[in-house]
Amino acid sequence: MSWLKAIVGGAIGAEALTVIKAYVEKEGGLDSVVKKFQDGGYKKQVESWISTGQNQAISSIEVGQAIGIDKIKKLAEAAGVDVSKARDLLAEYLPVAIDKATPEGKLPEPEKTDVKKSLY
């Protein structure tokens, strides 16, 4: 996974990596994550993460609204952290992950997968 290689080079902790990796994989890739946040009303933030400019912040509450509390609960459980911590990790590191995976200001080509895994 090329997006994962991009963020592993950054300094993020194991908990954050676990939560981000699980979320992106379960959503079906970065393109699906981006679409979910855009559709959820966070288009400007997501576009800033993809662009080569400054990343706009997103709050843990906004992350919860975009993803949904049920999905966050499952991600938290799988990562062995509480829901609040999972939301905080997503708010802090999802923008970094998307930014690092899009150094040229555009999403990478979607990865080919035969079966979409579902954690939800």
pLDDT for position 88: 95
Kindly state the tokens that stand for 91. Answer: 């708010």
Structural domain range at position 13 = 2-101
pLDDT reading at 91 higher than 90 = yes
Q: What is the CA radius of gyration of the chain?
A: 13
- pLDDT-derived band at 114 (thresholds 50, 70, 90) equals very low
CB 103 within 8 A of CB 5: no
pLDDT score, position 106: 87
CB-based burial, 85-110: b 16+ in 10 Å, e otherwise: bbbbbbbbbbbbbbbbbbeeeebbee
67-78 pLDDT, tens digit per residue, is 999 999 999 999
CATH code assigned at 22 = 1.10.10.690
d(CA 81, CA 75): 9
| Residue 119 located in a structural domain | no
Per-residue pLDDT, 57:
96
Per-residue pLDDT at 111 exceeds 90: no
